[in-house]
Amino acid sequence: VVLKINSPDIQHKTEVKGVVINLTDEQEVRQAYRTIMENVKTYRPDARIEGVIVSEFCRPAAEMILGAHKDPMFGPVIVVGLGGIFVEHLKDVARCIPPVGHSEAEKMVEGLRAHSLLKGARGRAEADVRALTEAIVKFSDFVVANRDWIQSAEINPLMVLEEGNGVRMADALIISETN
């Protein structure tokens, strides 16, 4: 399993060392809980802590980001790219104004420098690109349906599993217009 800090005051859990992955037994989970709580008290002593989230650990073929932000001129803009901790550093993203259909979603994915990783570079398993494009379309529909109150939304990382196994949302954040 994976343990992640649950706090409305912490947007990026890894920055406060609030995530521990690949836990296999009760003793590891208990120790990870203590470690996360100590880390958060050190890095963000003022944060309100609601506990920890326990979720399934999965080995993705790729970690992606799927997001949206409200541009003052264009309105919502959908963003997809290489995710996890790399998104801010590599800046490999594609953007599109919604609604995003299947062909636009495919073009977004194909336009990424990381596209070769999704196709199974260097002996890695091929990622479920079809499930990724479907997730982009559904996320776009969600953003359009809720455009009046969403300032930004982000799924990061979106775990893209091996071909035929779909995608899994590992973490998400929505910021409303009114906060």
pTM: 0.85
Under a CB-based contact definition with an 8 Å cutoff, are residues 142 and 173 in contact? Answer: no
Q: State the residue for tokens 């790729």.
A: 62
What would the DSSP string read from start to end of 158-178? EEE-BTTS-EEE--EEEEES-
The Cα 15–Cα 84 span in angstroms is 12
Rounded to 5 degrees, what angle do the CA atoms 9, 138, 125 make? Answer: 90
CA atoms within 13 A on the CB side of 56: 7
Q: Name the one residue in this structure whose structure tokens are 């776009």.
A: 140
Element (H, E) at 30: helix 26-43
Q: Encoding tokens for residue 140?
A: 């776009």
Number of H helices, E strands in the chain: 5, 9
Question: 42-68 pLDDT, tens per residue?
Answer: 999 999 999 999 998 988 889 999 999
Instruction: Write down the pLDDT at residue 36.
Output: 98
With the CA atoms of 75, 97, 82 and 1 taken in that order, what torsion angle do they form, in degrees rounded to the nearest 10? 70
Residue with the two structure tokens 């349906």: 145
- Residue 127: DSSP 8-state: B
Single out the residue of 40, 57, 10, 12 nearest to residue 170, CA to CA. 57
Would you state the pLDDT for residue 75?
94
Spell out the per-residue pLDDT of the chain, length 179, in tens. 999 999 999 988 989 999 999 999 999 999 999 999 999 999 999 999 999 999 989 888 899 999 999 999 999 999 999 986 667 777 889 999 999 999 999 999 999 998 988 998 778 889 999 999 999 999 999 999 999 999 999 999 999 999 999 999 988 999 998 75
Residue 85: per-residue pLDDT: 67
